[in-house]
Structure 1
Amino acid sequence: MLGSHTKIFNELTDLQLDNLRSRMDMLLIAKGYNECEIDVYKKAFDYFTAFKQNFDGATIVKDLKDVGPLDIDAMLHDYQYLVYNVSSNFYTKWKADWLYAKGQERKGKGQYSAFSRFIGLTIIGIGFVPYSNLKHGNVQSIQENEFLKDYRTLINN
């Protein structure tokens, strides 16, 4: 998204990806995530394992890695933009961006860092949502429902 480029999923072997996924699980458990919440992150991880070329990582800020070279909140955020098309709608984009900020905060990355990114994403959304809607079309109801299910799982911790 927006000029970021990373090839984490392309550069790692299947064994290294399995190890990274296990380390992600352990981190989320240590941060107090339950099994349903962890499953949301696993779904995103597994998507990028299958579609390695689709992952581009954190845009602009690259210093918030959680496990190895991976920022798991950026990974989930990219997944939501790609699979659920949340960036084509102000409502779903705002919720995805809020979830991104809350995930960073929950993992101890700091409120200032998390919410300054949220504000930046909100401002960028003024132009990005219409562009995304023209490029990718509307959020389909099935995409929105699946996204909101994941959102409720993670936000109601």
Structure 2
Amino acid sequence: MTTYVFFISNLLTQRGMGKQLKFGFVAVLTTLMVLAGSILQVGEPLMAASSVYGNCQSSACTLAIANQIYTQYPEIPRAEQANTTLLSRFIDYHLDAKARPAQYHLDWELSMADYLDTPYSHSPKQSANDTIDNVDQRAMQTLSRQQRHSLVRTLEQLFTQ
């Protein structure tokens, strides 16, 4: 893009355009490039927040999402503990403990890998075992691969509606 700007500015200079016009053109083009970059950078979180559950930060919200999923998939174990369920803790882990975005499939897969205690990192000091209960890990491991895939797809779809 920078080469294109210099090409246009050289073209304007060769055709007898003044230095003021050349400077004005470069200034406007640079401003447009900066604005386009900031819109592209900021636009993604704004689009993610527009979903129904995009700003789900409370445990009541995650519990509501979990209950909605339990109605679709009653075979998923609830593993209830202190007014939370396996899925609500999984969602809290994904959104709060790991601070991963809710709209991306791969991020949900990484959280599932944490719950299955599957290593995916090259650094040995990064471990999720500190924040995940062993009961939750065992409950998630009882699900078949297809059930886990369906769960991840459903979570992704709920957060991107």
TM-score (norm 2): 0.34
Q: Which has the larger radius of gyration?
A: 2
TM-score (norm 1): 0.35
